[in-house]
Structure 1
Amino acid sequence: MAKLVALYNVPADRNAFDAYYFEKHIPLAKSIPGLRRYEVSVGSVASAKGESPYALAAILSFDSLDALQQAMTTPEAAATTADLQNFAQAGVELLVFDTKEV
């Protein structure tokens, strides 16, 4: 399974961020073809050393890296990416990788 991890920096207004993210961004992202699973962090996002600069982590799962890459070329993914400017002004880091069970 391939993953896209979005790490959202702590916003200036967490309530506004959460409202927009959960009401508008998630439904938009869930429209991306090939998306198999959408998970978000609950509570604080910490590093092994304690605090982190992140307010929220989202993990989107796809069948394969090819499926993820193909999904990212769709109009739905373009709209989702463009939507980041509407609520993620503090910044977001996007990580993409393939996984295997060991």
Structure 2
Amino acid sequence: MHKLLVLYPHPEDPAAFQAHYEGVHLPLAAKLPGMLDHRYSLNVHAEPESPYFAVFEADFPDAATMAAALASPEGEAVQADVPNYATGAVVLDYPVVSR
């Protein structure tokens, strides 16, 4: 299995981030072809203080499926939407391989 991990630093306006993320971005992400499952967390808390506000994880069966999903029209729409709500740099970490 391959996992896409997206980390979001603290936004300038957390309420606006959450409204757009949950209302627009997550429905776009849910359409990624071949994705097995996904989950997210907002207001991430960690000790010491976390540099991140939100985290998104998506599971794919293999690297080829994940790459195809990210290159698909749906994947391009997801990537194009990021500047509409994320005011900081976005950290992508992939692939994470588990068996």
Please report the TM-score for the alignment, with normalisation by the length of structure 2: 0.92
Q: CA deviation at 1:98?
A: 3.5
Instruction: Provide structure 1 residue ranges, at least 5 long, that are not aligned to the other structure.
Output: none
Contact kept, 8 Å, 2:34 with 2:66, in 1: the verdict is: yes
Please report the TM-score for the alignment, with normalisation by the length of structure 1: 0.89
Other structure's SS at 2:91 match: strand
Contact kept, 8 Å, 1:7 with 1:57, in 2: the verdict is: yes
Q: State the percentage of identical aligned residues.
A: 34
Quote the residue 1:12 is aligned against. 12
Matches within 5 A, 1:66-81: 66-81=64-79
**Structure 1 runs of 4+ with >4 Å offset:** none
Judged with a 3 Å threshold, the aligned counterparts in structure 2 of structure 1 residues 89 and 43 are, in CA distance, closer, same or farther, namely closer
Q: CA deviation at 1:90?
A: 1.5
Matches within 5 A, 1:14-29: 14-29=14-29
After superposition, the CA RMSD in angstroms is 1.4
Other structure's SS at 1:59 match: strand
Q: Distance in 1 between matches of 2:48 and 2:63?
A: 31
Judged with a 3 Å threshold, the aligned counterparts in structure 2 of structure 1 residues 34 and 45 are, in CA distance, closer, same or farther, namely farther
Instruction: Provide structure 2 residue ranges, at least 5 long, that are not aligned to the other structure.
Output: none
Amino acid at match of 1:35: M
Q: Distance in 1 between matches of 2:39 and 2:20?
A: 17
